[in-house]
Structure 1
Amino acid sequence: MAVAAVAILATAVPASAHDSLVHSTPEADERLAAAPESITLTYSGDLLVLGESTQGAVVLVIDQDGRDWATGEVTVTGNTVTAAVEPGMPDAGYQVRWQVVSEDGHPISGIVPFTIGDAEPMTATQAPTDADAPAYTPDASDQAAENTDETDSGMRVLLVGGVGAAVAAVAFVLYRILRRPRTVPAAVDDVDAAEER
């Protein structure tokens, strides 16, 4: 019974873990001498895509005025996301704002700030002012959102593990009942045989 419960918990834990960003080009808070030609994001696991499309993967490269410098389609290959950027990005602070679908089906998002040249970095509290820019409203803290997801995942693991342990216990009891030796009926048959003699 304990082995069954451990097996269920062992299979439940990996299924509930969200992927996370492990590397980016440019890196967070990096200061570049020249504008990048593309943005590359690498995650801890393969990302979920629908068919041949990259629906669910969004990459924006936003400046202080709210302009999005990302251009073309976002490319998703395994655990890597690539987005081209328009040429001619001026020296300024930027934020790569990304959202992808984790391997477990949950959307995850984050911000990677970087700076070109000697410009001031763009702070997290600066909001785009361009009305034509893609809408993006971050939560109070992307990290807080990730922590909430992890807490929910932990509760799911405990729930699945508890249900699995209960099922294993019931199966074990049924097995013992069905495999129990039938000693009482045998004793009754012996008594009947003695009376006939």
Structure 2
Amino acid sequence: MSPVRRFAAGAVLAAVAILATAAPATAHDQLLESSPAEGERLDAPPGSVTMTFSGELLVLDESTAGAVVLVVDADGEDWATGDVEVRGRNVTAALTPDMPEGGYQVRWQVVSEDGHPIAGVIPFAIGDAAPLESTGSAEATASAVPDAPTASDQNADGTGGPTRILLVGGAGAALAVVVFAVLLVLRRRRAAAVPPDSGDDMAENS
């Protein structure tokens, strides 16, 4: 294989490597577990809501963690109090003491490790009441959380991920093609600079 072809093949392999390594970075984090759990019925009011995710969540700055947690009842009253605490993969939100029996929803939004916001809803209940399930669309249920994806796709939303992968891979492939073309032109110019009968002249002179 000529040096030009070897270089072009290496450039293409590099583009493939970029494409392969870009894929895992675009995956959004997922909610692994929570307390209260989805659909759980508690005998007593919880003191806080805790959630654990699959990756390290982003903290935007010291004044805001980039996370929103609301705990609402059927009337829409929010029982979460204080700041939301984000530590690595864990999120904690304190609740107002003496929450009455009834159905509730935890409406949450956090910033995934890849910088993309993800959101969801966790229904639970205190006492003999039923967990507060969504009565309308998923978009309406999560509407209290700003700029949140729907609850139904919080673990599957990949908007922008495949596009970014294709852009990265396409850029690498395009770079390989350009490099190959430039080297090919240079090779042809170098070949054209050598007279075609130079070999015969050398033989005669010898």
TM-score norm. by structure 2 comes to 0.77
Q: What letter is aligned with 1:111?
A: V
Residue 52 of structure 1: which of 54, 62, 68 is its match?
62
Question: Could you say which residue in structure 2 is the equivalent of 1:94?
Answer: 104
Residue 160 of structure 1: which of 165, 168, 172 is its match?
168
Matches within 5 A, 1:75-86: 75-86=85-96
Matches within 5 A, 1:116-155: 116-125=126-135, 136=144, 141-144=150-153, 147=156, 149-155=157-163
Residue 15 of structure 1: which of 25, 36, 59 is its match?
25
Q: Are the structure 2 counterparts of residues 9 and 144 from structure 1 closer, same or farther at C-alpha, using a change threshold of 3 Å?
A: same
TM-score norm. by structure 1 comes to 0.80
Instruction: For residue 160 of structure 2, give the secondary structure of its aligned residue in structure 1.
Output: helix
Residue 64 of structure 1: which of 71, 74, 77 is its match?
74
Instruction: For residue 167 of structure 1, give the secondary structure of its aligned residue in structure 2.
Output: helix
Report the count of equivalent residues: 189
> 94-103 vs 4-13, which deviates more?
4-13
Q: Let me know the Cα RMSD of the aligned residues.
A: 3.2
- Percent identity reads 56
Q: Are the structure 2 counterparts of residues 179 and 79 from structure 1 closer, same or farther at C-alpha, using a change threshold of 3 Å?
A: farther
Residue 6 of structure 1: which of 6, 16, 19 is its match?
16
Question: Residue 54 of structure 1 contacts residue 76 of structure 1 at CA under 8 Å; is this kept in 2?
Answer: no
Gaps of 5+ in 1: 128-134
Quote how far apart the aligned CAs of 1:12 are.
1.3
Question: Residue 30 of structure 2 contacts residue 154 of structure 2 at CA under 8 Å; is this kept in 1?
Answer: no
Instruction: For residue 74 of structure 1, give the secondary structure of its aligned residue in structure 2.
Output: strand
State how far apart, in whole Å, the 1-side matches of 2:110 and 2:149 are.
19
Instruction: For residue 23 of structure 2, give the secondary structure of its aligned residue in structure 1.
Output: helix
String of CA shifts for 1:28-64, please: whole Å, max 9, x gaps.
1111111111111111111111233334210001011
Residue 115 of structure 1: which of 95, 107, 125 is its match?
125
Q: Are the structure 2 counterparts of residues 137 and 100 from structure 1 closer, same or farther at C-alpha, using a change threshold of 3 Å?
A: closer
Question: Residue 106 of structure 2 contacts residue 122 of structure 2 at CA under 8 Å; is this kept in 1?
Answer: yes
